[in-house]
């Protein structure tokens, strides 16, 4: 047996949910290009696709949306639980705690698509409820007339959101809904492989997403935009970072060795919502100059913008506070997690890798 640190390059499962090709810069959901789905379809339509393998027709989508609306309302026990949490509890920690409290008998193994839908529908409500409560704001109840992403913004801000902002955040939700065997998805499949319930699997995934190496928010990219401020500052700012061997946030990815297709789609959406404030023009010029200088300083490395770069532009446009970046990512990725959990149960074998012991044996200790 061969030891591979971090299991990099090891195939641990077969899946029909999604495919990531880092060399070619491709991201596929159930046979569709993720970029096309993000630009042309709603979060509900893509969620249906992820769980069922096909896009819904008109009647299927109508019924699906109604089910989502039904499951948005917080159960009384979740409200009571949040009322007991310390107000300085991080949003991700509160979310993990509340999701765990959903674990009633209806979530027993094997997992189902109905369970997946219920968890996905209630996740934004938990996030919004806790965010407003921790900031001493009046809680905003779900609006049954709004679609999933629009309702999320409504519950956060207490106002019906502008459609252009909904379009932008919808694209972000779709592009982060699934991304192969990442740390959180792997965690969910490992837990499900023990025949534990879906709630436990999703709590494990949230725990993995909470780590800054995985669910790291694009706050650093927004800070970069603010520090650069104008076109004439771009090259001096980037050169100083590179001369000091500092990381430039929003560039490079563990998987992609060319353009991140998620970044390309969000780039198109960002252009649509930038308006007349010059934000889009600035971030495109920052992107172009940074890639040029990265090629100069690190030739042959193939470092390009990742999804966080243009996600930062979207987050800045919709004015989401930084403490909601990772929870918002989570509200989308829960669809991918639940799809993998269901898929794991359909051809299950418990995960049981080996470890290489490098410690002392009793005999060696006594010598």
Residues carrying an active site annotation:
253, 308
Domain count, the chain: 2
Please give the C-alpha separations between residue 145 and each of 155, 306, 347, in angstroms, as whole numbers. Answer: 13, 34, 38
Q: Residue 355: inside a domain, yes or no? A: no
Domain check: are 58 and 193 in the same one?
A: yes
Q: Which CATH number fits the domain that encloses residue 247? A: 1.10.230.10
Q: Residue 360: inside a domain, yes or no? A: no
Q: Which CATH number fits the domain that encloses residue 116? A: 1.10.580.10
Domain hosting 265: range is: 219-318
CA distance 83 to 25: 45
Q: Report the pLDDT averaged over residues 243-255.
A: 80
Q: Per-residue pLDDT tens for 270-289?
A: 777 666 556 777 888 898 89
Domain check: are 16 and 137 in the same one?
A: yes
Q: Report the pLDDT averaged over residues 359-366.
A: 75
Q: Report the pLDDT averaged over residues 241-257.
A: 79
Domain check: are 50 and 135 in the same one?
A: yes
pLDDT value of residue 256: 57
Q: Per-residue pLDDT tens for 320-331?
A: 988 899 999 999
Distance of CA 58 to the CA centre of its chain: 27
Domain check: are 101 and 180 in the same one?
A: yes
Q: Residue 359: inside a domain, yes or no? A: no
Q: Residue 352: inside a domain, yes or no? A: no
Tell me if residue 181 falls in helix, strand or coil.
coil
pLDDT value of residue 236: 94
Q: Per-residue pLDDT tens for 288-302?
A: 899 899 989 988 777
Domain check: are 19 and 158 in the same one?
A: yes
pLDDT value of residue 159: 93
Residues found in the chain: 367
Residue 212 has pLDDT above 90, yes or no: no
Pairwise pLDDT comparison (308 vs 169), residue with the higher score: 169
pLDDT value of residue 183: 92
Q: Residue 256: inside a domain, yes or no? A: yes
pLDDT value of residue 367: 56
Q: Residue 189: inside a domain, yes or no? A: yes
DSSP string covering 17-49: SEEEETTTTEEEETTEEHHHHHHHS-HHHHHHH
- Going by C-alpha positions, the residue among 47, 126, 53, 54 that lies closest to residue 90 is 126
Domain check: are 170 and 232 in the same one?
A: no
Among the ranges given (101-105, 112-116, 213-217, 360-364), the one the predictor scored with the smallest mean pLDDT: 213-217
pLDDT value of residue 3: 81
Q: Residue 364: inside a domain, yes or no? A: no
């Amino acid at each position: 047996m061969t030891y591979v640190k971090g299991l990099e390059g090891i195939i641990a499962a077969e899946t029909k949910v999604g495919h990531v090709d880092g060399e070619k810069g491709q991201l596929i959901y159930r046979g569709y290009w993720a970029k096309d789905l993000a630009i042309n379809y709603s979060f509900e339509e893509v969620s249906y696709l992820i769980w069922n393998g096909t896009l819904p027709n008109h009647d299927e989508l109508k019924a699906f949306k109604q089910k989502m609306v039904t499951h948005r309302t917080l159960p009384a026990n979740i409200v009571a639980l949040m009322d007991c949490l310390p107000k300085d509890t991080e949003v991700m920690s509160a979310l993990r705690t509340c999701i765990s409290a959903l674990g009633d008998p209806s979530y027993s193994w094997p997992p189902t698509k109905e369970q997946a839908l219920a968890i996905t529908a209630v996740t934004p409500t938990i996030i919004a409820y806790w965010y407003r409560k921790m900031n001493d704001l009046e809680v905003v109840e779900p609006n049954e007339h709004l679609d999933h992403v629009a309702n999320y913004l409504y519950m956060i801000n207490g106002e019906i959101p502008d459609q252009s902002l909904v379009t932008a955040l919808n694209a972000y939700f779709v592009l982060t809904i699934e991304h192969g065997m990442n740390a959180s998805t792997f965690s969910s499949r490992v837990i499900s492989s023990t025949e534990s319930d879906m709630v436990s699997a999703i709590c494990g995934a949230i725990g993995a997403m909470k780590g800054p190496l995985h669910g790291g928010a694009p706050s650093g990219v927004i800070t970069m935009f603010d520090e650069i401020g104008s076109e004439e500052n771009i090259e001096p700012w980037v050169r100083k970072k590179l001369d000091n061997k500092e990381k430039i946030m929003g560039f490079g990815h563990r998987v992609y060795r060319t353009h991140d297709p998620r970044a390309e789609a969000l780039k198109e959406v960002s252009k649509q919502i930038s308006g007349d404030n010059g934000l889009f023009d600035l971030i495109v010029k920052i992107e172009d100059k940074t890639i040029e200088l990265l090629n100069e300083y690190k030739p042959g490395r193939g470092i390009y913008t990742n999804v966080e770069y243009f996600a930062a532009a979207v987050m800045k446009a919709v004015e989401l506070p930084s403490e909601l970046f990772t929870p918002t990512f989570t509200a989308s990725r829960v669809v991918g997690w639940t799809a993998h959990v269901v898929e794991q149960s359909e051809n299950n074998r418990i995960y049981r890798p080996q470890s290489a012991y490098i410690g002392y044996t009793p005999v060696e200790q006594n010598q």
